[in-house]
Amino acid sequence: MTPTHPRETSGDARRIDRKYARLMLPAIMATVMSCVMSLVETIARRGFAPDLVPAWLTSFAIGVAVAVPTAVLVAPIAQRLVGHLTGEPRRWPVPTASAHPRSDPAHSQREKSSCPGHSP
């Protein structure tokens, strides 16, 4: 199978559905922040002791268990607050099937017909 779009690959079928973006973004951010903050806090408390890695991983596990659910629950509130402070609309963009160019057959036909030197 050859890609029809320059950025399209055969691995697209394994991607996570876009409807989970609302959960994934805060979960990824919380995980990364927990990793960094638990390492910094563990080094600040213990220094570069021989048991640094096990202590850090324990702290990281506890931090992720608290941070991810908290971030997922707080993200919509934070989004509304940012929208209020900036004057942007409160709604989170909900992707539709045709919002993604590769999933819209009409888009690929328009793209082909608009490319110079390409005959449909």
Closest Cα partner for 108 from 1, 3, 32?
3
Number of structural domains in the chain: 1
d(CA 26, CA 20): 11
Name 104's Cβ contacts closer than 8 Å, sequence gap at least 6: 97, 98
Examine residue 103 and state whether it is found in any structural domain, yes or no: no
Whole-prediction pTM value? 0.59
- Helices 52-86/21-46 angle, 10° precision: 130
Examine residue 9 and state whether it is found in any structural domain, yes or no: no
d(CA 74, CA 81): 11
pLDDT band at 14 (very low <50, low <70, confident <90, very high): confident
Q: For the segment 15-42, what is each residue's pLDDT rounded down to a tens digit?
A: 888 888 888 999 999 999 999 999 999 9
Which residues constitute the domain of residue 40?
Answer: 19-90
